[in-house]
Structure 1
C-alpha cells in the first residue's frame, strides 16, 4: 500500500501526504511568506524531501524516549506544552552563564544551534511528556539566519519557518520561562530575556503516530493536549486541522 510516513520510503508517481502541505504552518507565520502558498511538490522534490525526513527519523531513533535523550546529555529547554510536547537540546559544554554570552546578539558555541541547516539532525527533539518513558513525538530545527530571509531548509519550500523574537530563559538551565515578556515579568520568573530575532524554527511531524496529514511542517499537533498526549487512536483529534492548536511558544 501507499507509505504512511517518510520512513516507508517514496513510491514514484504517488503523492504522499508529506509532499502536499495545504496549511499556513500554524501560528507565527512570518512576513517572509506573505503572498506565498504551500502545495503539491513535483515528484523529484517529493523524493528528495522524503529521504531528508527519513534521515531525521532514523537519526533520532537513538533516543526513542525522554529518558534515553537525557541519559545521552540532552537538556529539556521547554517543558511539556500543549500542541508541542517538550523541546530537548544537546548543549554539550555551552552555558548561557558564560561571561561572553550576549543576550542581545546570542551565539551558542559547542552546540549545533548555528547558521547551518542539517536536515538529518534537528536541533530539538520533542517528547510527549516530562516522564522518563515519554515517547518521541516530533522534531524542531533552529537555525540562525537574517531576519528577512528564512533558512533554505527542506526541499520543496513547504517548510515555513517562524521566529520567537524574545524568549525568557532561566540561563543556568537553558530553560524557557516565557515569550515576549517585559524584563520585569521575565525577572519575576527567574529569567533573563534573550533576543532571538535572528533564529528561525520549523517543526516536522513524521514520527508515528504523530503525523499531521494536512501540513507536515505545522507548528502544533492537536493530540498533544494540555494534560498530556492522546492515547485513544480513535479520538477525534487525530483527524483535526493542525492550524490553530496549542500555545505560542
Structure 2
C-alpha cells in the first residue's frame, strides 16, 4: 500500500500565512495563532488550505472546516473533497470579536492519516466617527466655482472603506444611507465640497464606514457614520423700489 504523507498544514488568510503544529486538537488545548487578518461585519473571510499533493497516487483529501466564535459556539462547518478553499461572510450584525477557524485534513483512503491546524481572525466593528468641518457652516451659492471646503475625520480604519455625501435635510435614517447612494462627494477620510450652484437650503455633510465588499453584492449599510449641518444661501435681492 502506498505510503501517504500529509504535509504540514498551511492556512492563508488574505496575504498572511500562518504555520502551526497542533497535534492535540481539543478545544481547551489548541491556541490558534493570530492570522493578522482583520475584517468588518459584512466582509467575506477567504482562506485556503494545502493542495492535495497525493492525487497522483489516487489519494483524495477531505477538508473539514469549523468556524467558532470567541465563546466556543460553532458558527459554520463545511466539508470538501480535494477543494482546499473556504469562505464565510460575516453577518452585518456581528460585533467586535475573534473567530477561530480550524481545518482538519484527512486522507480518505486511510482515515487514520489526519492533520489539523487553526488560525484566529479578528472581526472589528469601527467606532463612530467625528467630522471636523470648516470654520463656517453657511455658504453662498454664488461663491467661486473653483472654491472647495474640506471636511475630515480621523484616519479611515484599514479594514473598511469610507464614503461622503451632501444630503438634503432632514436625513430621516442616518444609519440607512446605502453605500450605493448616488452622487458621493468624496472617499477616504476627507471630502472637498463646492457649494457653487447648489440649490439654497439646509443640508448635511455625511460620511460612513462600510465593509470592504460593500456594493452591489449587498452588505451596503454603514457600520458607523457621522454628519455635520450645512446651510446654503442665495445671493440677496438688490431691487430698489422708489416710492
TM-score for both structures, normalised by structure 2: 0.23
Larger RCO (CA within 8 A; separation ≥ 6): 1
Which protein is bigger by CA-based radius of gyration?
A: 2
The structure with the largest strand share of the pair is 2
The structure with the largest helix share of the pair is 1
